[in-house]
A and B are shown apart, each in its own frame.
Chain A
Amino acid sequence: MVSSNQEFTRRRLLKDGFRNVCILGIGGASGILMARGQTDQYCWQIDPQKCIACGNCATFCVLEESAVKCVQTYAMCGYCKLCTGFFDPAPNALNTGAENQLCPTGAIIRTFVEDPYYEYTIDESLCIGCGKCVKWCKAFGNGSFYLQVRHDRCVNCNQCAIAAACPSEAFQRVPADQPYLLKGTNHSG
């Protein structure tokens, strides 16, 4: 009985020792990790310079409605009457008729500003992030349409499903205090 008691105490001591080692380990490890970390949080964003508007953003997002939407940098836009991001490659006429539009959901709003300029705005509730307009705007226009992760919709998955499927490695983790990679507006004469 005595010996078994002794053994019991010894095991207990051993266990306590190991536990303290573990606590120190956890403390140390988290301390090291924290000390290194200066970023509070990350979130996902698309580098518009790398994006090729392949269409994966529309289909791979874990949300029913993709968190990726098209955005417009107005200061870069040419306000063209014939917008290659808005019109079908061979439009019947330059009006907003369905037969002329490129966007499958009709999410681009075309408004007349002054002759011959038109403003193009994205209706985010309709945009599905397929990037069709982005592709054509980049190829033949100024590239003022481009895709961005909209952070009011994104749930910030630890592993973004679109990032895993992105063919051009355009998705990257960015610090949450600078969550957008907007195209510049720095064009003078």
Chain B
Amino acid sequence: MIHCTRALPFLILLVGVSCLGQDIQRFPPPDFESGYEFPVTTTPAPRAGTLNYLDVAVLFMALSLASYLALIKRSRQGIFALTIFSLLYFGFYREGCVCSIGAIQNVTLALFDPSYSVPFTVAVFFFLPLLFALFFGRVFCAGVCPLGAIQDMMLIRPVKIPHWLLPALGLLAYLYLGVAILFAATGSAFIICEYDPFVTFFRLAGNRNIVILGISLLVISLFVGRPYCLFLCPYGVLLHHFTRLTQWQVTVSPNECLQCQLCEEACPFGAIDPPTPKGMPAPNKQDRFRLVFLILLVPIFIAVGGWVASLAADSFSRMHFTVRLAEQIAWEDASEVDKFTEASQVFRDTGQPKEALFQEARHVRDRFVLGAWILGGFLGLVIAGKLIGLSRYRIRSDYEINATDCLACGRCFSYCPQEIKRRRKSKSAPTVRQEAGNG
């Protein structure tokens, strides 16, 4: 290997030569005389595939148990214990990955990219909680979701958020869902996973900005019940709508409501609606007019939303690697930027035709324009839907849980005197006293 030493100054001159491309066998592997044998490059296997079935089984068991605890056993303590288990298993043991929220993107990508197929586990994680929601409501949120669990743990001093603010803040979740689907469908990024605020805690490591985001959300969680679930969670949006059709749902009182008002402040998530006041005036002409007007306005909302979002399609499309690269190359060619980026350098080194890249980028951008129209239209529809829902006249005679917003955490049970009576009948007294607080 004398040539190495002598060639060195020459080699140093060559520094800066691109190192892309194929390997060159510059120095043939020696024929060893000492009987040396090539060691083998180790390839540690990934997590065994069979363990994925364990995840599925645990998910199913946890969902079933959560349904049982929330609807039949009516035990906050049980649900709390399950929450801790889920936090430990899906959170700290599985380190937050495979998760139903992120699975939205895998399913979307599979729908739009025929070369990608959803792994079995991911598909189950996406569909199973929705299926449970059709029968038992959002039991997934109650005791299975590790993201919900970590926030639930933090909730110590609930501060009441004004009821009327919730639908408005809830819009953010629809935006998040829509944008996540747009980026997943175009193959740009999985933003739900990239910006998952809590996964950094499960892994005890992560990007600094995400850690800061996560800590802020957890600090908010000390006072506001589950801010991510209520205002951001895209999967929550799906569960919310599936729960509209739920067969059974959690109730505050095991029997008849006594109208004692004790549970009024029980729900930190604003899911308990008080009865409508006596003597509430029937809808007047103005109310009826508003409702009809809003319904007629739905197409306008959709059109305006689509149009507004389509204006931002170019910005959205920059999330896509190809578009960013094409734009960078175009800038460089027009001398608008001085420096090549690593990505553009790589592209130039491969010698692929720029025109093909530009064409593909434009093709991607066109898909984004269409996607942005759909996204905007969807958001317009959601806003219109919320306004219409808020213009409808409803009568509630009891304190009722709004099943679609209820996270089935079971906090309200112990507030109801009927429940206390039920427990006193079925169980020994000490538990009751403890649960009832100093009431």
Contact = CB atoms under 8 A, between A and B. Distances in A.
Partners in one complex: yes
B341 interface: yes
Interface in B1-20: 1-2, 4-5, 8, 11-12, 14-15, 17, 19-20
Contacts, number: 209
Interface residues of A, number: 79
B14 A139 contact: yes
Given A19-B245, A41-B121, A42-B119, A63 B346 contact: no
B41 A82 contact: no
B107 interface: yes
B145 to A, nearest CB: 15
Nearest to B322: A169
Interface stretch (B21-29, B290-298, B329-337, B354-362): B21-29
B123 A30 contact: yes
Contact of A33 (B102, B105, B123): B123
A58 to B, nearest CB: 13
B19 A37 contact: no
Interface in A1-35: 15-16, 18-19, 22-23, 26, 29-30, 33-34
Contacts of B430: none
Interface string B179-200: 0000000000111011000011
Given A34-B123, A43-B46, A113-B34, A182 B41 contact: yes
Interface in A63-108: 63-64, 71-82, 84, 89-90, 94
Contact of B131 (A26, A116, A142, A182): A26
B131 A113 contact: no
Contacts of A154: 46
B39 interface: yes
B25 A22 contact: no
A185 B14 CA distance: 27
Given A150-B44, A157-B97, A22 B206 contact: no
A52 B120 contact: no
Chain B residues touching A, majority SS = loop
Nearest to B107: A33
A44 to B, nearest CB: 10
A165 to B, nearest CB: 10
A34 B20 CA distance: 38
B350 to A, nearest CB: 9
B24 A113 contact: no
B203 interface: yes
Given A52-B19, A53-B19, A142-B27, A180 B43 contact: yes
* B interface, size bucket: 35 or more
B225 to A, nearest CB: 27
A39 B29 CA distance: 37
A75 B95 CA distance: 37
B11 A117 contact: no
Contacts of B105: 158-159
B137 to A, nearest CB: 12
A155 interface: yes
B247 interface: yes
Contacts of B98: 158
Interface string A164-189: 10011100010011011011000100
A74 B119 contact: no
B194 A79 contact: no
A155 B196 CA distance: 15
A135 B1 contact: no
Given A82-B5, A161-B207, A176-B46, A113 B189 contact: no
Given A37-B118, A40-B49, 8 more contacts: A26-B131, A30-B124, A43-B46, A94-B5, A113-B36, A117-B30, A152-B45, A159-B194
Interface of B: 1-2, 4-5, 8, 11-12, 14-15, 17, 19-20, 22-30, 32-34, 36, 38-47, 49, 52, 95, 97-99, 102-103, 105-107, 110, 116-121, 123-124, 127, 130-131, 134, 189-191, 193-194, 199-200, 203-207, 242, 245-247, 321, 341-343, 345-346
9 contacts: A22-B242, A37-B118, A39-B119, A63-B205, A78-B27, A94-B5, A135-B19, A179-B43, A182-B43
- The 10 A-B pairs of least Cβ separation, nearest first, read A78-B27, A143-B23, A159-B190, A82-B4, A152-B44, A37-B117, A151-B46, A167-B342, A167-B343, A159-B193
